[in-house]
Structure 1
Amino acid sequence: MDAEHKHDLRNLIACPRCDLLHHVTPQDSGKIARCTRCHVTLITTRQDAIPRITALSLTVLILMTAAIFFPFLKLKTGGLSNSASLFDAATAFQSGILIPLSGAVAALIVILPSLRVLAILYALVPLQFGRPPFRHAAFAFRLADRLKPWAMAEIFIIGVAVALVKVTGLAEVTPGPAFWAFSALVIVIVLKDTAMCKWSIWTALR
């Protein structure tokens, strides 16, 4: 394959919804490119995207650390009270056939979201300072993209909210600092993913 043909392939983007191929032309900052068939957004160029994503990713790591080790919930009933952290929830099943469940909980709500953020930072931090990307930066960003469906922090906080509605009738439940940190973490993750334009990052990593 000659260099000119490779260059042409690099300028093609497939719509994630209808698979229609588009030839990409340079986009001005702030412009949005949409699919000509189904109108889904393909490219959103923002001048400050990389600094914003880097800052939000660092915020996610800080909030994740607080969410893991600080008290998550405190339950009080019949004169007895108990508090648990996110780490306690992830390691609650430590015996018998429930050990894999403990590992799955820890992976989906702590390990994979943290690994995804670290991979994004590995890929983007050099670009933030105007330097060439690290070796294997493209692999790290591809890993972060593939981990996205498996990083289920958002699903966990929704499940906790549903459980709180059911438990409040049986006991007095007080959210701890980790609960609010984890709730803020979910919001920051959504903001980070919204600010991210994959096409622009791949172009910068070439």
Structure 2
Amino acid sequence: MGTSSPEALLICEHCDTVYRRRPLARGEVATCARCGAELERHHAMSTNAMLALILTSMIVFVQANMWPIVTLGLSGQHSSTTLWGVIIAMWQEQAKVVSVLVAATLFFFPLMKMLLLGWLLWFGKAGRRAPGFVPLMVALHRLGPWTMSEVFVLGALVAIVKAHTYFDVTADPGIYAYAALTLLITIFAGVDLRQLWDDLPERTA
């Protein structure tokens, strides 16, 4: 590699193979020739665009948790509930482990991820690293697999279809808000957050 600067190199985080970085075209993904792991994606979204996407996701997230997700009707009686209504009902029915997992993966972890990203991007739009940049980036990497809104939406849709056998079921605005949130999360999943390490270099004295 000679005297190449660190910014010109890519290191595979799985097998430590070192590569010389080259510009990627739109849609291109660099992968490790040794282990096949993803090294880098094309930076298609700016810091300001990512911040706008996170703010939109937070608005939709609040709506999804405030609005009822489904209404069940039987013999002229109707009952609707929010996500937290379901979590509390599971807790009261002695399904405490499940209720904790649902609360963590559908509320606390996604909320934490959005708040951390919002904090980093708020400073990033000014071209500087936020306080606690390094540990927060590590925390975001750890939180990645634990946001499961898309699993909830698919499970809720299956449950609604099956419940039609016994109840009059109406999908409420909350489930549509979660569907929109899933779409936003899917869009953001295609963004390589590691670009922040390059876009926001550490300032030296």
TM-score (norm 2): 0.83
Structure 1: segments with no counterpart, 5+ residues: none
Give CA-to-partner distance per residue, 1:12-54, whole Å, 9 cap, x none. 32176xx472424253674735226277653223364322221
- Which of these residues, 186, 196, 201, is aligned with residue 196 of structure 2? 201
Q: Contact 2:72–2:170 (CA<8 Å) still a contact in 1?
A: yes
Deviation, 1:97, is 4.4
Letter aligned with residue 55 of structure 2: L
- Which of these residues, 142, 149, 154, is aligned with residue 145 of structure 2? 149
Q: Verify: 1:11 aligned to 2:9, yes or no.
A: yes
Q: Contact 1:30–1:45 (CA<8 Å) still a contact in 2?
A: yes
Q: Percent identity?
A: 23
**In structure 2, the residue corresponding to 1:42 is in which secondary structure?**
strand
5 Å-filtered alignment, 1:99-114, equals 99-114=96-111
Aligned residues: 198
Distance 1:140 1:10, change over 3 A: farther
Taking only aligned residues, the RMSD between alpha carbons, in angstroms, comes to 2.7
Alpha-carbon distance in structure 2 between the residues aligned to 1:70 and 1:34: 41
Cross-structure match for 1:175: 171
Distance 1:77 1:193, change over 3 A: same
Cross-structure match for 1:61: 58
Q: Contact 1:122–1:140 (CA<8 Å) still a contact in 2?
A: no
Q: Contact 2:74–2:167 (CA<8 Å) still a contact in 1?
A: yes
Q: Contact 1:138–1:205 (CA<8 Å) still a contact in 2?
A: no
Deviation, 1:146, is 0.9
Q: Contact 1:122–1:137 (CA<8 Å) still a contact in 2?
A: no
Structure 2: segments with no counterpart, 5+ residues: none
TM-score (norm 1): 0.83
Give CA-to-partner distance per residue, 1:108-160, whole Å, 9 cap, x none. 11110111111111122211133x21111222122112111111111111111
Q: Which structure carries more helix by proportion?
A: 1
**In structure 1, the residue corresponding to 2:95 is in which secondary structure?**
helix
5 Å-filtered alignment, 1:158-169, equals 158-169=154-165
- Which of these residues, 131, 136, 139, is aligned with residue 132 of structure 2? 136
Q: Contact 2:10–2:39 (CA<8 Å) still a contact in 1?
A: no
Alpha-carbon distance in structure 2 between the residues aligned to 1:166 and 1:31: 39
Q: Verify: 1:75 aligned to 2:77, yes or no.
A: no
